Amino acid sequence: MTSNKMKSKKFIFVRNFDGIPKEEDFKLVEEVILDLQQGEFLAKAIYLSIDPYMRAYSSRIRLGETMIGSQVAIIIESKNENFPTGSYVLGQFGWTTHFISNGTAQDVTLYPPYLIEKDEQISLSLYLGALGRTGNSAYFGFLELCKPRSGETVVISGAAGAVGSHVGQIAKMKGCYVIAIAGNQEKLNWLKSLGFDYVINYKLDNIRSELTKAAPRGIDCYFDNVGGEISSVIMQHMNRYGRIAVCGSISSYNSNATDMPKATILQPTIVFNELTVTGFIVKTWLNRWNEGIEQNAKWIKEGKLKCRETIIDGFENMPKAFINMLNGGNFGKSIVKV
């Protein structure tokens, strides 16, 4: 019973972001957990996901609302037979330590919570990354939209992040030549250790001349995590019939919607090279969700897919972890452990 007046902690959004988010944009509050109604279960967070979309979607969150986000939680009480006590659940419950759910999505923009099978070989945290939204963005976004063929040249921006590092490893498995772009030398060293062929530091290197050296015969596939001028330069090096999967545009997320950064016009290269440029939202593949999870889990168990995580301890550090990720402080998937 929850009538012992157990409390949950949550972060609410109290000030609209202006540029990079600040800790003062959030407020940590406590509230008494209500008694469960028939059909409900109470989940206690174990790992919470830190993602760029939290910044990109911030205009959709009203002041006073709980910050959005996914978590892996354990069900500590249940009046819903489909979500029994003691089982693990993946839910878009927000930045909160406890959540009461009736097993359906809170609104149409979200997907319903689902149970996770605990597997001794796999950390539960991976269900927020390689075995969740991140991994499926890499798996479906890259394979379905870039349609890579062995021997082709693939460029990935945001390559040391959760999605980017995953895409690069799939590209290597498919026999591609991988050019990875990231923001510091330590990340580039890590990407080299994963077997990526050529690395570029977008903060120090001249991307245009590096691409000329790295891809003298042009680029066939581009997996775009960052958008902006980096992407314009890359797209000008594409081969005829090149394929571009636009996953995100983090280079603009901290900008004011009325004053977005300008980038070089892309229509000439799209037309003359007959490029296919496709944006996607990973939910598109909700009906194939488990296929992505199963394939990524198989690759992990076979040792073919390495999943680096940046895990910050303590629920109270959610804002810090979020700001750290936006500033490039993460390698692979960014997560908070409660």
Ligand X SMILES: NC(=O)c1ccc[n+]([C@@H]2O[C@H](COP(=O)([O-])OP(=O)(O)OC[C@H]3O[C@@H](n4cnc5c(N)ncnc54)[C@H](OP(=O)(O)O)[C@@H]3O)[C@@H](O)[C@H]2O)c1
Q: Contact, 238 vs 271, CB < 8 A?
A: no
Task: For the segment 119-148, give every residue that binds ligand X (CB under 6 A).
Answer: 133-134, 137
In 3D, which of 279, 283, 338, 287 has the Cα closest to residue 311?
A: 338
- Closest to ligand X by CB, 239 or 280: 280
199 contributes a contact to ligand X by CB under 6 A: no
* Residue of 226, 238, 293, 305 interacting with ligand X (CB under 6 A): 226
Residue 102's alpha-carbon distances to 2, 14, 30, 96, 105, in angstroms, are 16, 27, 21, 16, 8
- Closest to ligand X by CB, 32 or 105: 105
Angle value at C-alpha 164, between 158 and 170, nearest 5 degrees:
150
CB of 301 to ligand X, least distance (A): 22
CB of 235 to ligand X, least distance (A): 15
- Closest to ligand X by CB, 34 or 281: 281
What DSSP assignment string belongs to 66-134? BPP--EEEEEEEES-TTS-TT-EEEE---SBSEEEE-SS-SSTTSPPPEEE---TTS-GGGGGTTTSHH
CB of 289 to ligand X, least distance (A): 12
d(CA 16, CA 269): 37
* Residue of 101, 251, 269, 296 interacting with ligand X (CB under 6 A): 251
CB of 23 to ligand X, least distance (A): 18
Q: Applying CB under 6 A, which part among 60-68, 98-106, 160-168, 236-244 lies near ligand X? A: 160-168
- Closest to ligand X by CB, 2 or 254: 254
- Closest to ligand X by CB, 236 or 324: 324
What DSSP assignment string belongs to 127-148? GGTTTSHHHHIIIIIIIIII--
* Residue of 113, 135, 168, 248 interacting with ligand X (CB under 6 A): 248
Mask of contacts with ligand X, 307-336, x by CB under 6 A?
A: ------------------xx-x-x---x--
167 contributes a contact to ligand X by CB under 6 A: no
CB of 203 to ligand X, least distance (A): 7
250 contributes a contact to ligand X by CB under 6 A: yes
CB of 303 to ligand X, least distance (A): 22
**DSSP code of residue 19:** S
* Residue of 46, 53, 74, 306 interacting with ligand X (CB under 6 A): 53
Beta pairing, strands 198-201 & 26-32: unpaired
**DSSP code of residue 250:** G
CB of 312 to ligand X, least distance (A): 13
Token pair recorded at residue 122: 């796999």
Q: Contact, 134 vs 128, CB < 8 A?
A: yes
d(CA 43, CA 155): 40
* Residue of 51, 197, 220, 309 interacting with ligand X (CB under 6 A): 51
d(CA 242, CA 239): 5
CB of 15 to ligand X, least distance (A): 21
Residue 47's alpha-carbon distances to 12, 83, 117, 207, 257, in angstroms, are 18, 18, 15, 36, 31
CB of 38 to ligand X, least distance (A): 35
Residue at shortest CB range from ligand X: 161
Residues that bind ligand X (CB under 6 A): 51-53, 56, 133-134, 137, 158, 160-164, 182-184, 187, 225-226, 247-251, 280-282, 325-326, 328, 330, 334
